[in-house]
Amino acid sequence: MHGPQFAKDYVNSYLKNEMPKRLVKYRNGWNTNQGDLPDPEDYFTYEPLVMDHWPTIITLVISTNSFEQIGWDGMHPLYRVTYSMRSYVWSRTEGSEQTTIMRDRLCVVLRSALLDAPCLEATDPRGTFRAQIDQTTMREEFSDLTLLKGDRVLAGGYISYNLLIDEIVHREDIATVSEIEVDYQAKGPSGAFTENGYVNQIVVD
């Protein structure tokens, strides 16, 4: 199994690749510039003690909600695992209005990336994980503004969602049969037992 670290890394890698492309399209659509809608400078899968660059996107696993066995991969059971996730947006600039607009717009672009199921699945070229976001579980929350030194203001928001991924439990062999020896007796024409013997050894992988 891969676990929550893989789930975070999967989404984080997808957002690193997808967000810059989407931001270009949204700047053109909203007729704004990179100063008002900048590219995120950092992507984390943990909560850093200090954030030095803005905007920042942080993706975390909050809990693991369910394990559903959906089949087998050879002798190994295959599970559909559901992770409760959050992707945070933190923005900072001068002025409360500008910071709020920047945060809200970044959350919209983030939302559009998370809702794009084909692009999310394409992150896994093998197609074995079947990563999928349950769109019915998506919810957005926004923080209050925090006044920093001077006129700088900090604002945050997050999108919560459930991520589903296929994971395999690799089972180890408890014991291995190396050979089987069978005792037999042969019958003669009259039906009477005539001799004892052994078959050749049978090796089992």
Q: How many CB atoms lie within 10 A of CB 9?
A: 13
Q: Tens digits of per-residue pLDDT, 118-156?
A: 899 887 766 778 899 999 999 999 999 999 988 899 999
Whole-angstrom distance, CA of residue 133 vs CA of residue 163: 5
| pLDDT value of residue 112 | 97
Query: Counting beta carbons within 10 angstroms of the beta carbon of residue 121, is it exposed (0 to 12), middle (13 to 18) or buried (19 or more)?
Result: middle
Domains and CATH numbers, the chain: 3-168 (3.30.2000)
Q: Which of 186, 171, 71, 189 is nearest to 130 (CA)?
A: 71
pLDDT exceeds 90 at position 203:
no
Query: What is the reported pTM?
Result: 0.80
In this predicted model, which residue has the larger pLDDT, 193 or 189?
189
Confidence band for 169, pLDDT divided at 50, 70 and 90: confident
* pLDDT over threshold 70, residue 4: yes
